[in-house]
Amino acid sequence: MLKTAYKFIRFEKSKSLGILMAIIISIYLIGLELGIFFYLSGLIGGIVNNANPAYSQVFVVNKQTNNANQLSPFDVRWINQIRSINGVDDTHGIVVANVSVKFPNGHDSPAIVIGSDYPQLAAGPSASLLKTGTISDLTHPGTVSADFYDNKTFGYDVEPGTYFEINGKLAQVGVTTKNAKGFSSPLLYTTTSKARYFSGTSDFSVNAIIVTVKDPPKIDEVVAQINRMAPDLKAWRSEAFSNATVINVMTANNMGMSFGTLVIFAIISGFFIIGLTMYSATYDRIKDYGTLKAIGASGRYITLLVVAQSFLYALTGFVISGILLFGTKMGMEKAGLIISLTPLFLSFLFFVSLLIAVGSSFFSISKLRKVEPSSVFR
């Protein structure tokens, strides 16, 4: 079957090339748009996603807050009160504040300083995000972390030992991270006391509380108890708070609509371009299909033959577009834009390739169902 399908593809080289190019462009654009979308989603929820997963099962924030990038302060005494709830293993107050940084070359930039208590450093950065240095390095006087990919934002090559100013106060980079980035501004991680010092945050307030619940079945109950106990606060599962943050930002900026529209148009345009080109190629070989019917081929065989051609188009187009996506990924990584091409994501793209190619073959199949064996003699 596949051998015969390949012969039909080879006989119409120009149209086959057109179909293949349409699949490649469609899948490449879909993969690129979704890759950038997922990357931006990770940045938007970065404050939650970068937290230490060993401790950050639940986030408690001001009730009016559904965006991790805009955390309002509240009374620090809630840390001990929430710790008394049944099922809570520990609580960790975190300080999140907007600051201004200035480097020796005169470049300045906004940033967000994030502090949590050592040795847990529940707010992050998690060990998997470290590029150089260790978590214990953040305990040294005046030290903070900086991300490798934020060098362009800073306008300065930041590395361990780099001195700079935070709100006019001398600071030093003790740890560099890789892809521990924020959406609106670079993230600087440190201990709670240094975050208060650099930002001027009061000792009597925190911006969020990270609640550790080591027994997963108890998480929902802990969330419910916190919401009953503290009517002015709201407890979230970490993943739920990250998702709410992404939805809030995407909705406010219409980014979700923009990405969704581009992906839908890529699918629709690919579907009709491929479908009409395949229909044209089928029409040109109508006598060949009639011959197959004349020598005994069933309608089911003809249908499977067209589907087999679509499968070959989809497979070849997916492989080529995948190579292009990997090349684009490597190029974008140098600029700090990291597209994650996971096996699950690639499987989804292959499914879309099949959907577009096989689905668009409906035009050809509907035409061939009406072909009579006698058409070969006309």
pLDDT digits (tens, 9 = 90+) for 327-376: 988 888 776 777 888 889 999 999 988 888 877 777 666 666 665 555 54
User: What SS3 class is residue 12?
Assistant: coil
Instruction: Determine the residue type at 260.
Output: G
Check whether residue 244 and residue 271 sit in a common domain.
no
Residue 294: the pLDDT is: 62
Q: Does residue 210 contact residue 12 with C-beta atoms inside 8 Å?
A: no
140-144, 204-208, 373-377: the lowest-pLDDT one: 373-377
Higher pLDDT, 359 or 82: 82
Report which DSSP code applies to 149: G
CA 253 distance to own-chain centroid: 17
Question: 237 and 88, same structural domain?
Answer: yes
Tokens 């709410």 -> residue? 244
Angstrom distance (rounded) from CA 89 to CA 249: 32
Question: Do the beta carbons of residue 362 and residue 275 sit within 8 Å?
Answer: yes
Sort 370 into a burial class: Cβ within 10 Å, 0-12 / 13-18 / 19+. exposed
Q: What is the mean pLDDT of the chain?
A: 85
For residues 99 and 185, state if they share a domain: yes
**92: confidence class by pLDDT, cuts 50, 70, 90:** very high
* Nearest residue to 280 via CA among 15, 10, 9: 15
C-alpha to C-alpha distances, 377 to 77, 232, 364, nearest whole angstrom: 91, 83, 21
125-137 exposure pattern, b = at least 16 Cβ within 10 A, e = fewer: bbeebbbebebeb
N-terminal to C-terminal alpha carbon distance within the chain: 27
**Band of residue 295 on the pLDDT scale cut at 50, 70, 90:** low
Indicate the pTM of the whole model: 0.80
User: Per-residue pLDDT averaged across 294-303, rounded?
Assistant: 65
For residue range 347-358, what is the model confidence (pLDDT) as tens digits? 999 998 888 887
Among residues of the chain, what percentage have pLDDT more than 70?
Answer: 85
Together in a domain, 222 and 313? no
- pLDDT of 106: 86
Q: What is the DSSP letter of 72?
A: P
pLDDT grade, residue 26 (50/70/90)?
A: confident
Q: Are residues 214 and 268 in the same domain?
A: no
Last residue of a domain, one of 210, 237, 252: 252
- Which tens digit of pLDDT belongs to each residue from 116-127? 999 899 998 888
How many domains, in total, are found in the chain? 2
Indicate if 244 and 349 belong to the same structural domain. Answer: no
Separation CA 189–CA 45 (nearest Å): 16
Same structural domain, 284 and 295? yes
CA-CA-CA-CA torsion sign (277, 279, 285, 289): positive
Do 77 and 156 lie in a common domain? yes
- What pLDDT score does 224 carry? 94
Among residues 252, 280, 314, which one ends one of the domains? 252
Averaged pLDDT for residues 152-171? 90
Q: 162 with 279, same domain?
A: no
Share of the chain above pLDDT 90, in %: 42
Q: Domain range for residue 137? A: 46-252
The per-residue pLDDT for 220 is 94
Q: How confident is the model at residue 1 (pLDDT cuts 50, 70, 90)?
A: low
Paired residues of 91 in beta bridges: 211
Q: How many C-beta atoms lie closer than 10 Å to residue 377's C-beta?
A: 10
Residues 60 and 98 in one domain: yes
- Among 214, 232, 252, the domain boundary falls at 252
β 108-116/187-191 pair status: parallel
Tell me the three state secondary structure of residue 124: coil
Assess whether the previous peptide bond of 186 is cis (omega < 30° from 0). no
Min mean pLDDT across 56-70, 187-201, 363-377 is at: 363-377
Query: Regarding predicted confidence, which is higher, 153 or 376?
Result: 153
> Distance between CA atoms of 158 and 139, rounded to whole angstroms?
19
Angle between helix 343-360 and helix 299-333 axes, rounded to 10 deg: 140
- On whether both 37 and 57 belong to a single domain, the answer is no
Lowest mean pLDDT, pick from 45-54, 99-108, 140-149, 277-286:
277-286
User: What would the mean pLDDT of 154-158 be, rounded to a whole number?
Assistant: 87
Contact between 246 and 123 under an 8 Å Cβ cutoff? The reply is no
81 or 250, greater pLDDT: 81
Q: What is the mean pLDDT of residues 170-175?
A: 94
User: Are residues 102 and 174 located together in one domain of the fold?
Assistant: yes
Q: Which of 34-43, 45-54, 59-68, 166-175 has the lowest mean pLDDT?
A: 34-43
